[in-house]
Structure 1
Amino acid sequence: MFKLLEFKDNQTSAKELSKTLSALLKEKLQKQALVRLALSGGRSPISFFEFFQKENLEWQKVHFSLVDERITPKDSENSNENLLKSYFFKDALSKPNFTPLLENLANFDEVDENKLLHFANSKFIQPDFALLGMGSDGHSASLFFDAPEFQKAIKSEQNIVFLSPKKAPFKRLSMSLKALEACKKLFLFISGEEKIKTLEKALLKEDESLPISLILHSKKVQLYVYFSR
């Protein structure tokens, strides 16, 4: 199930998403002591982070996690955790309530998939909401169709899965399709003609070669698509 919301530009889309998500979190905090939000990394959500960090929220009552993570050192510019620290976790959010997907590793040349998954799944707490991005190839989170582990990832009962995409750098940890569908609501934030063309294809039908379509057409969760050309 999906709802499309188109805006004139990226900044307007980011601002409106920030206001909507902020209001949603405030509403939930009237009913529960803590609300859980999973965030995506990459460059796409940076404009959203700039607006969202300025919202008037009780940030200590918001628990953050990651939708996915690249298996790199935490201080790497390619780390999603590091991106959050650089662009979002500052000022009022300088000491966030945050659980990483990746533990500190001494040797990234010899990563143990099972140990990574054990750590991530043992720390996992189901988010209420999640912010997604999408690549021009139709992947979302780190659910890459070309990864050998893709079929396992979309059918897994685990909350966090391991993928090694062939056409994208880095091995990844990602929320599984099951975990994404267990969220109360999902939000997709994208912009640009190339990604819009991919979105339009994915809107037509469920197609595993376009992983975002599995979420768009899911009957288990509502996806709100914030986009601009």
Structure 2
Amino acid sequence: MAISDLNLPLGMLARSLSDAQQLAETLAADVAAVLRSAIDSQGVATLVVSGGRSPVAFFESLAQQQLPWSRVVISLADERWVPVNHATSNESLVRRHLLRGPAAEARFIGLYQVAGSLEQAALKTDQVLSELPPIDVLVLGMGDDGHTASLFPGSPNLCEALEPEGSRRCLPMQAPSEPRQRLSMTLSLLASARLPLLAIQGSAKLATLAEALSLDDPARMPIRAFLHSPLEIYWCP
């Protein structure tokens, strides 16, 4: 299957890149261009990224882009509820691979909060995210089960998290993998991004995407809630 074989909704764009490095470099250059335009027009630009292993090359390429980084605000679509020095922390990943060199001047808004419970942490994060400027660029990933951010199929709060007009910015989520306890931006906040992008690699992810496109219920594969214009897809084999 090629990405051109997908039955994409009207207006939704997809790009096929030759390999992971070209995907990372192309995505970084395109994101930087949108951030520059936002800074030129409004003085500040906001970028929300996803964690995990896949975005590392993108982060490192983006960190090399020429930008007025002090005018960029960066946050995360989701986070594991672990201390920021934990090996699986998304914040730690961003700090190691993106917020370095000139890019270290960007303002970072993290999701992790110390609290007595995951729900209390989510409420604290919800308040922190009230300071997040409007999102100019959102970069999502996708799991083989069709989850994106930490919006996992079967998570107890998923229906609330997928409410298009929901009032919460962040909700506690339960992942099937370790560490299970997660914090995730909700659909209502993520969908407010002016330019949402999805970066995926490999034939398995392409098959997952095709399955998600065939569904009506985003609770089965939450990425389905984002599969409409103006989403742009970046894919490589």
Q: TM-score, normalised by structure 2?
A: 0.88
The Cα of 1:166 is off from its aligned counterpart by 3.4
Cα distance in 2 for residues equivalent to 1:59 and 1:92:
7
Please state if 1:157 is matched with 2:167.
Answer: yes
Whichever residue aligns with residue 121 of structure 2, its letter is L
Please state if 1:180 is matched with 2:185.
Answer: no
Contact kept? 1:130, 1:180, Cα under 8 Å: yes
Cα distance in 1 for residues equivalent to 2:22 and 2:216:
29
Contact kept? 2:123, 2:171, Cα under 8 Å: no
Please state if 1:46 is matched with 2:56.
Answer: yes
The more displaced of 166-175 and 130-139 is 166-175
Task: Name 2:5's counterpart in structure 1.
Answer: none
Task: Name 2:143's counterpart in structure 1.
Answer: 135
Task: Name 1:57's counterpart in structure 2.
Answer: 67
Task: Name 1:214's counterpart in structure 2.
Answer: 225
2:126 aligned to which of 121, 125, 131: 121
Task: Name 1:3's counterpart in structure 2.
Answer: 13
| Structure 2: gaps spanning 5 or more residues | 1-8
Cα distance in 1 for residues equivalent to 2:151 and 2:43:
31
The sequence identity of aligned pairs, in percent, is 31
Cα distance in 2 for residues equivalent to 1:165 and 1:191:
21
| Structure 1: gaps spanning 5 or more residues | none
Whichever residue aligns with residue 100 of structure 1, its letter is G
Cα distance in 2 for residues equivalent to 1:222 and 1:71:
31
Task: Name 2:3's counterpart in structure 1.
Answer: none
> Could you report, residue by residue, the CA deviation over 1:8-44 in whole angstroms, capped at 9, with x for unpaired residues?
1111111111111111111111111111111111001
Cα distance in 2 for residues equivalent to 1:102 and 1:70:
8
Q: TM-score, normalised by structure 1?
A: 0.91
Contact kept? 1:40, 1:132, Cα under 8 Å: yes
Whichever residue aligns with residue 148 of structure 2, its letter is S
Cα distance in 1 for residues equivalent to 2:100 and 2:177:
33
The Cα of 1:94 is off from its aligned counterpart by 2.8
Task: Name 1:194's counterpart in structure 2.
Answer: 204
Contact kept? 1:163, 1:173, Cα under 8 Å: yes
